[in-house]
Chain A
Amino acid sequence: SQQGEEDPQALSIQEGENATMNCSYKTSINNLQWYRQNSGRGLVHLILIRSNEREKHSGRLRVTLDTSKKSSSLLITASRAADTASYFCATDEYSGNTPLVFGKGTRLSVIA
């Protein structure tokens, strides 16, 4: 089955810097989503990008999608300590009503 693979596995930056996380997947998809998990909390949906879109913005988040390379990136600009969390990409297969498939995640630490 397809699988999202994020890199890096861990990222540590200073507050105010930008953070970029990447995700690769294996098969054709309908959509790609990014989720965040704060320690001890559930997964929170951040943004969804459809397979026919190349870039999407939401506040300080910018997501790109390159279906030819089967990859996506999540950019968080002007990071804050509160952005410290694990970030996961999730894909759904092109073929139909299938559950989301998540990757291993990137652990982001933003140091104040």
Chain B
Amino acid sequence: EAGVTQFPSHSVIEKGQTVTLRCDPISGHDNLYWYRRVMGKEIKFLLHFVKESKQDESGMPNNRFLAERTGGTYSTLKVQPAELEDSGVYFCASSQDSGPYGYTFGSGTRLTVV
């Protein structure tokens, strides 16, 4: 079974540019989560999809972040325009059931905004 795939693995962009991160969950997993770890700080929840619907987006920091999951398969997280404080590692996880069990995480995308 393929795991959760994220790409790119690394991205370096200039302040003000746009970056789109992608997450391919495990096939059949309806639940998809985005988390972010800013350097030296905790891993913070961003949002949760159930299929193509946003179940909880309370962790999205501001309107520069846009997440989509068209068709309930892969998800994208776009940052536009990127700011320096957006630098960090963005993790995606998927699970078959809702709730805090059975998360499978991807390897993350390390985003550096310069």
- Say whether chain B's binding surface is mostly helix, strand, loop, or mixed: loop
Interface residues of B in 40-93 (CB under 8 A from A): 40-45, 48, 56, 59, 91, 93
Interface residues of B in 1-30 (CB under 8 A from A): 3-4, 6, 9
* A92 and B100 contact, Cβ closer than 8 Å, known pairs A42-B106, A43-B91: yes
* A42 and B42 within 8 A (CB): no
Taking the nearest CB of chain A, how far is it from the CB of B48, in angstroms?
Answer: 6
Taking the nearest CB of chain A, how far is it from the CB of B112, in angstroms?
Answer: 14
Report the Cα distance A44→B108, complex, angstroms: 12
Decide if A30 is an interface residue (CB 8 Å cutoff): yes
Residues in chain A near residue B45, CB distance under 8 A: 99-101
Decide if A68 is an interface residue (CB 8 Å cutoff): no
Partner of A100, one of B6, B9, B41, B103: B103
Residues in chain B near residue A104, CB distance under 8 A: 40-42
Which chain A residue lies CB-closest to B59?
A: A99
* B43 and A42 within 8 A (CB): no
Number of interface residues of B (CB under 8 A): 26
Residues in chain A near residue B108, CB distance under 8 A: 41-42
* A92 and B99 within 8 A (CB): yes
Taking the nearest CB of chain A, how far is it from the CB of B105, in angstroms?
Answer: 4
Interface residues of A in 13-72 (CB under 8 A from B): 30-31, 33, 35, 40-45, 48
Decide if A3 is an interface residue (CB 8 Å cutoff): yes
Residues in chain B near residue A3, CB distance under 8 A: 42
Partner of B107, one of A4, A40, A48: A40
Taking the nearest CB of chain B, how far is it from the CB of A1, in angstroms?
Answer: 9
Taking the nearest CB of chain A, how far is it from the CB of B32, in angstroms?
Answer: 11
* A41 and B107 contact, Cβ closer than 8 Å, known pairs A92-B100, A100-B100, A102-B42: yes
Taking the nearest CB of chain B, how far is it from the CB of A11, in angstroms?
Answer: 15
Report the Cα distance A35→B37, complex, angstroms: 14
* A102 and B100 within 8 A (CB): no
Interface residues of B (CB under 8 A from A): 3-4, 6, 9, 33, 35, 40-45, 48, 56, 59, 91, 93, 98-101, 103, 105-108
